[in-house]
Structure 1
Amino acid sequence: MDKKTKEKLQDPKIQKINSSKLMWKFRFYGFFKNLRFFEPFLLIMLLDPSIGLSLFEIGLLISIREIFTYTFEIPSGVIADKFGKKRELLICFVFYIISFVFYFFGLDPDIAVSNLIFLVSASIFFGLGESFRSGTHKAMELLWMENEDLMDYKTHVYGSTRAYSLLGSALSAILAVFLKIFIPANKWIFLITIIPYILDFILIASYPSYMNDHQPITGGYWNQLKIGFKGVGPTLKSKKIRKAIFSSAIYDAIYKTLKDYIQPIMVIFISIFLIQIGKDETDTETANIYISIILGGIYCIFYLISSLSSQNAFKLKKLFHHAKTSMDILFDLFALILLLEALFMWIEIPMVIIFLYLLIYVFENFRRPLAVDYMGEVIPKEERATILSIESQIKSISVLIFAPLFGFIADFSIPLLFLILAICMVIINHVFLTGRPRLEEK
């Protein structure tokens, strides 16, 4: 352990954070939330011939999900500010559980009605869950930090909670391999995923009552909703805030849309691998076991290393002296990785492709705590939940557009998609999003 790390750990406020009972609840909230056992296999389950969707059609399902996330983003932020964040977070987990039930029926190839009816319903309720969750828990963490005079430690708090979220994802990936191999059908993964979400519901219910603080409602809900929307206008006139939320939202939207493309990429290369070692590529059972083990292992490694990067995000902030500068650099690096991914997919080197995809996960988990830290600095306290929901709303609009568009191009060529996207990202970042905060006007 180096000297700086020792000094950091000896800081009384760091010790206070690490020993806080509520801080441990924040950590386990993310841990349980990320026990999504279906995640390493969702795309390949939907691409399975028994379901028969294309990447474009999967993109359309993602767009439906994001439409509902988008539609309810600002209202959910206003509800959190006006009725209580804790109450809203409990509702969001009810929506998630309902969506998992619909996914269960949607992945049944023998169901009497169209699978799409259930998959669309699952996407709708998942989108509602996302809209009610986004920004709300971060606002609750900010409230706790303000009450405990810990606002200078935002990056440490967010990095720590995100690290536990990613540990949950890593454990989820390992368990998912066993579930995928031994359960009778893919659909059962979604019912099993309900268990940790019930545990998270109970955990949130145990949060202190001040987490449900809200402003008194006068003049009716719809009047308050209009006031909430109007109050956002002056805040968004700030150049700092605009750049912060658009930089965060666009980067995260691209990551969110692309992060699981490793699944169809690996299915292609695993099929090539089976042929090379003399296995029958038509042996579905053998192929599924290889795919489950390799994808589960990849996701586990991704999340474990991402967890370490999330905990050390504060070091990147110190290196570049400001969170926004770090955000801008990581945006360009993401574009560079996509360019390299396209190159190595064309020349078919799977290990390099996996390594580069690992960097995509690492950079996202460096960047997200920095983005939340910076937005926490520039957004007024009384508007945080609403503005953070707007950031998530912009992300939803972006994913809504990106998912079918990326899917359409990817059905022709995934390397071509990565090449086009790399060029566009560099242009967007340098024309619209970069800029040192000290040079910006309010």
Structure 2
Amino acid sequence: MLSLLRKPTNIQTIYLSLVAGNTLATSFIWGINTIFLLSAGLSNFEAFLANAFYSVGYVLFEVPTGVIADTYGRRISYMLGALTLAISTALYLYMWHIQGPFWGWALSSMVLGLGYTFFSGATEAWLVDALKATNFKGSLDSVFAKAQIVGGAAMLIGAISGGIIAQMTNLGVPYILRTLVLLINFAMAFVLMQDLGFKPTRPKNPINEMSKIVNKSITYGYKNPPVRWMMLSAPFVVGVSFYIFYALQPFLLELWGDDKAYAIAGVIAALTGLSQMAGGFFSPKIRKLFKLRTSYLLAGTLITGFLLILVSMVSNFWVAIIVVFLWGLLFAALVPIRQAYLNGLIPSEQRATVLSFDSLTGSAGAIAIQPALGKIADVQGYPASYAVSSIFQFAAIPFIYLARRQKPKSDPIEI
């Protein structure tokens, strides 16, 4: 088994399989999650506030779980994530079944956030370390772009099937399927993942070891200007993307004229998957137009902001679909470039924790931005909330520009 793992192609296959499994499990509910919350009696504000508590869980546990990945290993972290998500999804389903109080939704969402923090940073760090250990000679951008395509395909399948299954049965069944897939992911990681290029420390004093890693991660993260400025752009981009995605289904169903068309909601979520696939496919081609990754990121962030303004002005369902698809394509095309930029500046020993810091920063923005935009949707409607979201999107641009001014070694694009 170990000899098979020591080939870059096999490492990539395992990574892409894990991405596909994660995304498939998650996407079963993406098309219906906001509708699921609203059907439990929550308002738009409460639904997005529940999502914000998911982000609170992300913020609270991001660094501790990142440290676990950097001490006990990426494999252990991944398996803990799959198990925690399976349990929290079952808790979510229970809250829906009993029409539970808001505090119960908040707690469920925080546990859900805990589950995802075990994944964030760990899977990506596992890939980068394993590729280096197996003398991979290719470009990380291309690997991450493949992940966007595979993840998009899994989202396409999961979102459409989740919506159709909900339409044929009820809103709870896709959550049961999600739990089953997560348990399969756990088994796959147990068998296939090995920590290559990284040796878990198994510290005698975990608290002291975690403290050392956090301090080093701050040194290589927030105290490292090109990393810091890129991280500080994350709250705006991540906060907006979370809201756009989860508001997309009720917004477009409103344009469609039937808020009970769950199958259409699944197709809408699948559209995001299709745009992600397209973004991953076109990302390597678009990057040839730029010499610097930050130039790519600046242009993409600006254009996606203008597309959000355009969405807010559209009243036709099909036109809105086209504009949203273009927004999703460009957003997805930016992800591999940003990942390669950050990974090129972080040492292996601190990679998972620093990447967790990055996720934490993005989640902090989602905590504030999601309920704020949800309240605007309650008071003034979804189009107004999309218009305001563009302002948050544009706010990321100065930070990306400041990162560019540092002239980091990972900024030039290798052709």
- TM-score w.r.t. length of structure 1: 0.84
Instruction: Report the counterpart of residue 340 of structure 1 in structure 2.
Output: 310
Instruction: Report the counterpart of residue 68 of structure 2 in structure 1.
Output: 79
Q: Structure 1's 88 and 171: CA in aligned 2 closer, same or farther, altered over 3 A?
A: same
- Alignment identity in percent? 20
Distance (whole Å) between structure 2 residues aligned to residue 329 and residue 44 of structure 1: 34
Instruction: Report the counterpart of residue 312 of structure 1 in structure 2.
Output: 282
Deviation at 1:440, TM superposition (A): 3.8
Deviation at 1:251, TM superposition (A): 1.4
Pair 1:209 & 2:209 matched = no
- Give ranges in structure 2 of 5+ residues lacking alignment: 1-6, 410-415
Q: Structure 1's 204 and 341: CA in aligned 2 closer, same or farther, altered over 3 A?
A: same
Aligned-partner residue type, residue 87 of structure 1: I
Pair 1:200 & 2:185 matched = yes
- Counterpart contact for 2:20–2:151, Cα < 8 Å: yes
Deviation at 1:234, TM superposition (A): 2.5
- Give ranges in structure 1 of 5+ residues lacking alignment: 1-15, 275-286
Q: Deviations over 1:355-388 (max 9, x none)?
A: 1111221122101111101111122222211110
Instruction: Report the counterpart of residue 59 of structure 2 in structure 1.
Output: 70
Instruction: Report the counterpart of residue 98 of structure 1 in structure 2.
Output: 87
Q: Deviations over 1:17-52 (max 9, x none)?
A: 5xx23322211211121123111011112222xx22
Deviation at 1:160, TM superposition (A): 0.9
**Equivalent residue in structure 1 for 2:383, among 405, 410, 415:** 415
- Counterpart contact for 1:339–1:422, Cα < 8 Å: yes
Deviation at 1:248, TM superposition (A): 4.2
Deviation at 1:217, TM superposition (A): 4.8
Instruction: Report the counterpart of residue 258 of structure 1 in structure 2.
Output: 244
- Counterpart contact for 1:69–1:130, Cα < 8 Å: yes
- Counterpart contact for 2:276–2:332, Cα < 8 Å: yes
Aligned-partner residue type, residue 37 of structure 2: L
- Counterpart contact for 2:373–2:388, Cα < 8 Å: no
Pair 1:29 & 2:56 matched = no
- Counterpart contact for 1:244–1:374, Cα < 8 Å: no
Deviation at 1:162, TM superposition (A): 2.3
**Equivalent residue in structure 1 for 2:292, among 322, 338, 342:** 322
**Equivalent residue in structure 1 for 2:118, among 126, 132, 137:** 132
Q: Deviations over 1:94-115 (max 9, x none)?
A: 110011111211222xx3x735
- Give the number of equivalent residue pairs: 399
Q: Structure 1's 353 and 206: CA in aligned 2 closer, same or farther, altered over 3 A?
A: same
Q: Structure 1's 318 and 248: CA in aligned 2 closer, same or farther, altered over 3 A?
A: farther
Q: Structure 1's 211 and 61: CA in aligned 2 closer, same or farther, altered over 3 A?
A: farther
SS of equivalent to 1:209 = coil
Distance (whole Å) between structure 2 residues aligned to residue 45 and residue 407 of structure 1: 16
Distance (whole Å) between structure 1 residues aligned to residue 54 and residue 124 of structure 2: 22
Deviation at 1:216, TM superposition (A): 2.8
Q: Structure 1's 378 and 261: CA in aligned 2 closer, same or farther, altered over 3 A?
A: same
Instruction: Report the counterpart of residue 38 of structure 1 in structure 2.
Output: 29
Distance (whole Å) between structure 2 residues aligned to residue 217 and residue 24 of structure 1: 28
- Counterpart contact for 1:86–1:207, Cα < 8 Å: no
**Equivalent residue in structure 1 for 2:156, among 170, 194, 215:** 170
Deviation at 1:215, TM superposition (A): 4.5
Q: Which moved more, 1:303-312 or 1:257-266?
A: 303-312
Instruction: Report the counterpart of residue 50 of structure 2 in structure 1.
Output: 61
- Counterpart contact for 2:240–2:393, Cα < 8 Å: no
Distance (whole Å) between structure 2 residues aligned to residue 257 and residue 292 of structure 1: 19
After TM superposition, the structure 1 = structure 2 runs for residues 7-406 of structure 1, keeping only pairs within 5 Å, are: 20-35=9-24, 36-48=27-39, 51-108=40-97, 111=98, 114-116=100-102, 118-150=104-136, 152-183=138-169, 185-211=170-196, 213-218=198-203, 220-235=205-220, 236-271=222-257, 288=260, 291-344=261-314, 348-406=315-373
Distance (whole Å) between structure 2 residues aligned to residue 353 and residue 367 of structure 1: 21
Distance (whole Å) between structure 1 residues aligned to residue 149 and residue 60 of structure 2: 30
Q: Structure 1's 188 and 118: CA in aligned 2 closer, same or farther, altered over 3 A?
A: farther
- Counterpart contact for 2:141–2:337, Cα < 8 Å: yes
Distance (whole Å) between structure 2 residues aligned to residue 248 and residue 320 of structure 1: 22
- Counterpart contact for 1:105–1:118, Cα < 8 Å: no
Aligned-partner residue type, residue 420 of structure 1: V
- Counterpart contact for 2:308–2:387, Cα < 8 Å: yes
Q: Deviations over 1:390-409 (max 9, x none)?
A: 00000111111111111111
Distance (whole Å) between structure 1 residues aligned to residue 173 and residue 197 of structure 2: 35
Aligned-partner residue type, residue 382 of structure 1: E
- Counterpart contact for 2:82–2:186, Cα < 8 Å: yes
Q: Structure 1's 248 and 397: CA in aligned 2 closer, same or farther, altered over 3 A?
A: closer
Distance (whole Å) between structure 1 residues aligned to residue 113 and residue 196 of structure 2: 24
Aligned-partner residue type, residue 133 of structure 1: F
Deviation at 1:309, TM superposition (A): 1.8
SS of equivalent to 2:68 = helix
Distance (whole Å) between structure 2 residues aligned to residue 46 and residue 220 of structure 1: 42
- Counterpart contact for 2:312–2:384, Cα < 8 Å: yes
Q: Structure 1's 403 and 166: CA in aligned 2 closer, same or farther, altered over 3 A?
A: same
Aligned-partner residue type, residue 410 of structure 1: A
Aligned-partner residue type, residue 20 of structure 2: F
**Superposed CA RMSD:** 2.2
Q: Which moved more, 1:334-343 or 1:308-317?
A: 308-317
SS of equivalent to 1:390 = helix
